[in-house]
Amino acid sequence: MAIAITPTILRKITRVIRDFLWHGRKDAKTGSCLATYPSRPWHHLQLPSDDVTAQFFRASTAWQLGDGTTCFFWTNHWLEGPSVAELAPSLFRFMPRCRRRRTTVCEGLTLRTWIGDIHGTLGPQEVIEYVGLWHKLHGATLTFKPERIIWRWTSNGV
């Protein structure tokens, strides 16, 4: 035997069930979830990764620069070609490992934190790379749009 339920009633029943399952009561405010989840439920999985796959992915993708908040300054390909680490490998060695994937393009360009990321006494090769990077960054501009990862092997980037 089937019962005809209107969409409005179905939404109300669904809300009561969801609130009970998530909060333990009929009417609940947000932020009072009873269940706790790890921030990365997949952290225990051994995800396959090898150098060839990573190199293929880096060669096949590029970042279309937007507001610079999600793209990493040193390691992502946002300069229309190589990453900053590939463009200035000697200079990149003067970067502490903890800063390499922390500085975003927005921070690096607007606040110029990329300069403060470099530690140590630079030699002639590093100074040449520093000046070349400075000139290359002079033309970089940010927009108000978010970044996009572009697939290089198609005309529309998807």
Q: What is the pLDDT of residues 68-115, one digit of tens each?
A: 888 899 988 888 778 899 999 999 999 888 888 888 899 888 888 888
Whether 16 and 65 share a structural domain? no
pLDDT above 60 for 31: no
Threshold 0.85, pTM exceeds: no
**Residue 17 sits in which domain range?**
1-30
- Segment 138-145 mean pLDDT: 86
> Are residues 68 and 139 both part of a single domain?
yes
pLDDT of residue 6: 82
Amino acid, res. 9: I
Tokens 């796959």: give the residue: 53
- Beta carbons of 66 and 147 less than 8 angstroms apart: yes
Per-residue b or e along 49-87, where b marks 16 or more CB atoms closer than 10 Å to that residue's CB: eeeeeeeeeeeeebbebbebeebbbbbbbbbeeebbbeb
User: Has residue 99 been placed in a domain?
Assistant: yes
Cβ contact 90:113 at 8 Å:
no
Count of the separate structural domains present in the chain: 2
What lies within 8 Å, CB to CB, of 107 at 6+ separation is: 68, 73, 113
Q: What pLDDT score was predicted for residue 24?
A: 62
Q: What is the mean pLDDT of residues 121-139?
A: 90
Assigned domain for 38 exists? no
Q: Is 61 found in the same domain as 19?
A: no
